[in-house]
Amino acid sequence: MVIADDDRVDGRYLEVHQGILSLLALQAPVAGDLRLVAALLHTIKHIERMGDQCVNIAKMIPLSGHEPPVSRDLLGALAKMGAFARSEVVQSKAAFGGRDVGLAEDLVRQDREINRLNREIFRSAIEIGDDADTREWAMHMTLVARALERIGDNAVDIGEQVAFVVTGLFREFSDSSHAASDRTDAAADVPRD
């Protein structure tokens, strides 16, 4: 059902995208309205990408086998990741609907936990043992974890659009291009006034 419904999500994305472009051409919005329209263009793309990640997860199910070897700890971590990802999506929707920058900024807190669980799942998969079937199953679960991590990142990106709509300035909530320790070290090198 998830895979089949992706075509509907893609179709809806194209429909809304075309409607926004028509609005830009016919209405020429300015100031806050233009920011909202620009943010909507970004937001619908992030929503469409979240749908794609759900499809990626759904495609992993048949690959894991009829009665796959499982690790309860790894499955528990995936369940937690899924709960956080769902919470982030719901929260990003509420932040956008309410133009709530504080709620949008709080997405980073949950996203850190998703990132931590993603690393934990990867480590667990590496250490899962020598049985080939179990290792293959664990590698599939790392792909599921990666898809959940991407859903969380897209929710944070929507939160950043909320801040843009409200303030008129675009900023990333966190610098995900560097590990936390790298950011701390880099900050220490910045001359202070």
- 100 three-class SS: coil
| Domain enclosing residue 47, as ranges | 2-179
| Burial (0-12, 13-18, 19+ Cβ within 10 Å), 20 | middle
Q: Is residue 187 part of a domain?
A: no
Q: Is residue 185 part of a domain?
A: no
Q: Is residue 50 part of a domain?
A: yes
Whose CA is closest to 14, among 54, 47, 37? 47
Written as one string, the DSSP assignment of 52-76 is: HHHHHHHHHHHHT-SS----HHHHH
Predicted confidence pLDDT, tens digits, the chain (193 residues): 888 888 888 888 889 889 888 888 888 877 878 888 889 999 999 999 999 999 999 998 877 666 777 788 899 999 999 999 999 999 999 999 999 999 999 999 999 999 999 999 999 999 988 888 888 889 999 999 999 999 999 999 999 999 999 998 888 887 554 454 444 333 333 333 3
Q: Is residue 191 part of a domain?
A: no
| Burial (0-12, 13-18, 19+ Cβ within 10 Å), 183 | middle
Q: Is residue 190 part of a domain?
A: no
Distance in Å from the first CA to the final CA of the chain: 58
**Distance separating alpha carbons of residues 10 and 142, to the nearest angstrom:** 26
Q: Is residue 188 part of a domain?
A: no
Q: Is residue 13 part of a domain?
A: yes
The CATH number assigned to the domain holding 10 equals 1.20.58.220
| Structural domain total, the chain | 1
| Burial (0-12, 13-18, 19+ Cβ within 10 Å), 90 | exposed
Q: Is residue 76 part of a domain?
A: yes
